[in-house]
Chain A
Amino acid sequence: MAGLSVVIIILIWWLRRRSPTSNATIWLPALLRVSFHRLFLLLFVFPFVAICIFYAGLALFDSPKVGSVVATTLWIPAMILVVAPTPVLEWIVVPLRLPRVAYWIGRVCLPLGFADEPVGGGVVYGVLALRRKGTSGQTVDWLRKKIDRTPPLRGMGVVTAGLLAAFRGDDHRARCLFLVADTLPSKLLSRKARAMARDWLVVDAARAGNWREVIRLGRRRTPRLRWSYAVARIAERLVGDKQAQPGWLLWLSWTLAPRRRASLQLLCRALAIPRASNALATKQSFKSDLPYALAGFARVLENGQACDGRSFTTSVRAVNAALEDADTCAQVRQRLIALGARGDAEAVVAGFRGRVIDALANQLEEFPHLAHAEGAEPMIEQAIVRVRMRAFRDIRARCEDYKEREKSQSALEVVLEWEMWAVLRHAADRLLELDPASEAAVFQTMWPICNNFAVFQHNICKRLMLAYEIYSWLQRHAQSAPAASELLLRNMKAAWTQG
């Protein structure tokens, strides 16, 4: 007995030393924690409930048999629920469209993928049950309140906020939240929750035909997730990427991934394309007269997500060449005379060019990857300038809101705060993707205000993970300011240690 006590004391001491959090807590692996929780339910809670049912039956029906039959009948499903809540939820409760039941089972029985955030896990299953149902405003509000009341909101809460946004049709906000969730450290987000976020993003990109984004998401190293990885590999073959795998490796990736039936058709499509066929290479040559140049330009605009930068630049170059052609100006002059107009042909052509640049700016805002091609094209450069100005204006406006709220010490609900941060971060990330050279300017615009706001969230609102996420994003882009980078690292450490 003495020896056992010594072993237990040494174990507790070792676990406390391993704890990344404050001295008062003991760190336990999620599996161990869930096992203790389930043992507690099985050995104490459910027997207590069974005894109560037994005596209730005895009192009501004056027969011990009724109570014992009921207690025994309920005991078996209760055991299954406690031991294996995930299959019960995914195969029975969610298809039966019982969102509140799904929430409580997730909350109480701790499915393994969501053990660290039981409320978040419950809400996830609640939303999954809800989306198959189609509509229930009251239940969505009820689920949202569960998350809002759960401090502190960690990674699972961000995924839940994203699911709720997607469910109400706000795809942009959902995308921003899932992009944040996908880049959270693995200690903040379970693998299962990350898979949900990444799968949504992959589906969103694949439905739009944005295969480059599918490849970027699926090929992420930490951590690699089976389904998104398999779809990314299939996408490489579809677009003729240089790193496309041979057929047998594609089959292997597909076999090891879930949802094989759903992705089989996509796999067959990919295998029908020869390896490294470079489907998106610029094969087309754009004719230089304006009607044909415009036809090519229209195709590139329509298929922006599927095009590469080279096709985009080539089509814009063709339009530019047609506009600079003396014949175009002469035709415009002729038409002006025929219509009795007093305008200047050069002014009309300049106006036309301005509208082309507007269309380019809209396209680049949506698909920044199109800006990265060899050979500068003046109209694209001007479009980038316009997009950059718009993006900076948007970022400044959001930072002003942070500044005002930090000054007045007013915080929104935690889900809304995550949404606001996710949208701001997304805007900044898009700008940096479009124009990497503006990183220093973006950082200088955002860092003092966002850092102070994060400190407010950290110290006053105790939203440590939100603060950590803001600090870490700023720190990643702080190469131009070493002193700020040091401060942000200290803040990150503080938030992580207390979180």
Chain B
Amino acid sequence: MSKGDPLADWRSNPFFVLEISTEASRAEVERAGQKLLALLAVGRTAAEHYQTPLGPATRDADKVRQALAALRDPNERVLHELWANIAPSGAGNEDENVVERWEAAASAVGWIKKWPG
């Protein structure tokens, strides 16, 4: 009973993936990317997870390479900068409007396990 994540693409913003500021220079972008590729190549699991203003996400070597390629094009980079410059959550507009999900709903009618398929 799960739905797609509407923020998945946003969390894959190249600046979030590489964990750099939007004002990073080209050299800093390349350095960050190469460092992450090296860590992922040796299998460091800590490198597979990263934090974003929209919550945690995961990355692999492919994602890092795509992020580097996107930031090499200046026009693309400016576009990604606009998306990455997001105010931290909780600042300015508190979200009082969200009513929490009922996570235990499935067990209320006995939907405990699913066939793995």
Q: Interface of A with B (CB < 8 Å)? A: 128, 130-137, 140, 166-169, 171, 199-200, 202-204, 206-209, 211, 238-239, 259, 262-263, 265-266, 269, 279-287, 290-292, 294-296, 298-299, 301-308, 311, 332, 335-336, 339-341, 343, 347-348, 351-352, 355, 359, 362-363, 366
| In the complex, chain A residues whose CB is within 8 Å of the CB of B111 | 131, 166, 200, 203
- A491–B53 alpha-carbon span in the complex (Å): 57
Ranked 9 nearest A-B pairs via Cβ: A341-B74, A262-B108, A209-B101, A339-B74, A343-B75, A295-B87, A206-B102, A206-B105, A291-B87
Given A169-B114, A207-B1, A262-B104, also A348-B75 (CB < 8 A)? yes
Tell me whether B89 and A299 are in contact (CB under 8 A): yes
Which applies to chain A's interface (DSSP): helix, strand, loop or mixed? helix
- Closest Cβ of chain A to B7, distance in Å, is 6
Q: Contact between A259 and B109 (Cβ–Cβ < 8 Å)?
A: yes
Nearest B residue to A296, CB-CB: B93
- Check B114–A340 contact: CB distance below 8 A: no
Contact indicator A238/B94 (Cβ below 8 Å): no
Task: Take A279-B97, A290-B85 as given contacts and tell me if A135 and B108 are in contact as well, using a CB distance cutoff of 8 Å.
Answer: no
**Interchain CB contact under 8 A, A283 and B97:** yes
Which residues of B (72-117) have their CB < 8 Å from a CB of A?
Answer: 74-75, 77-79, 81-83, 85-89, 91-117
A233 to chain B, nearest CB (A): 14
Known interface pairs A131-B110, A135-B116, A303-B95; 12 further A-B residue pairs with C-beta atoms within 8 A, sorted by A's residue number: A130-B115, A131-B114, A132-B110, A167-B115, A295-B93, A301-B6, A301-B7, A307-B97, A352-B82, A355-B79, A362-B4, A366-B4
Q: Are A292 and B6 in contact (CB under 8 A)?
A: no
Most buried by A among B100, B102, B106, B107: B102
Interface residues of B in 36-92 (CB under 8 A from A): 53-54, 74-75, 77-79, 81-83, 85-89, 91-92
| Chain B proximity of A263: nearest CB distance (Å) | 6
- The answer to whether B87 touches A207, judged by C-beta atoms less than 8 angstroms apart, is no
Given A140-B115, A279-B99, A296-B93, are A335 and B78 also a contact pair (CB < 8 Å)?
yes
The residues of B that contact A137 with a CB separation of less than 8 Å are 115
B99 touching A259, Cβ below 8 Å:
no
Contact of B1 among A171, A336, A339, A362 (CB under 8 A): A171
Residue of A nearest to B54 (CB): A298
In the complex, the chain A residue whose C-beta lies closest to that of B77 is: A339
